[in-house]
Amino acid sequence: MSYDPVISFTDIWKKYSMQQVLNNSLRDELVSVITGKKCRDELAAGEFWALKDVTFNVKKGECVGLYGPNGSGKSTILKLISNVTYPTKGSINVLGRVAPLIELGAGMHPDLTGIENIYMNGTILGLKIRELKRLIPDIIEFSGLDDFINAPVKKYSSGMYLRLAFSIAVHSPANIFLFDEVLAVGDEDFQLKCYDRLATIRSNNGTIVVVSHDLATLRRICDKTVNLQHGVIVSGEAL
């Protein structure tokens, strides 16, 4: 594929602390942003490198699969692409609007109904109210939640959460889509719908990065797969 990269990671290192992951990472990032001070290279007690010297590009229209054991850095890469967190060292360039589905139920308000969460999450992803009103029938139909769309999502099963979140994300105006284990939840019929939607996104030159432990599935739907081990890319195809 001859398109220029829309996602570029250059010498990315990401550090976390096992004691207080959220507080320590947020503090370090705020210090770095506000003062311009670089985070130290050495590890303090309880710290570890989630990513180590990671470099890769993803081109427009590509579908790239990330796989590896738990703790290998796959989800951290998605969080960096979507600006949920920031690198300790290195540079990231993302050209386009991102629709992340990286944590099941993330962004859903449990006390709001399915339809209310469509409005809330849709606007966060960049859809205007008039666009949402037009798309709501399609979102509901894709999710298959017609009978539950007016129920609070706290009553949803994990599969129902996924259906709604995936349906909202793929109807957004984004051109970069991030999916973390979305194909591991849901029944066979919904998984087939997901595969078809991924194919549609690719046919429209959308870019996809998907995390899964199912290497056979990744090889079926992706242009290339990347194997991560302990925060390091150990194999990949033409990255």
List, for residues 193-224, the tens digit of each pLDDT value. Answer: 888 999 999 999 999 999 988 888 898 899 99
CA atoms within 13 A on the CB side of 227: 7
Identify the structural domains of the chain with CATH numbers, from first to last: 5-236 (3.40.50.300)
pLDDT tens-digit series, residues 114-156: 999 999 999 988 889 999 999 999 999 999 999 999 999 999 9
Question: Higher pLDDT residue, 158 or 49?
Answer: 49
Query: Which residue type does 97 have?
Result: R
Helix (H) or strand (E) holding 59: strand 47-59
Question: Higher pLDDT residue, 38 or 19?
Answer: 19
CA atoms within 13 A on the CB side of 180: 18
Long-range contacts of 90-93 (CB under 8 A, 24+ apart): 90/9, 90/10, 90/11, 90/12, 90/13, 90/53, 90/54, 91/8, 91/10, 91/11, 91/12, 92/7, 92/8, 92/9, 92/10, 92/12, 93/5, 93/7, 93/8, 93/10
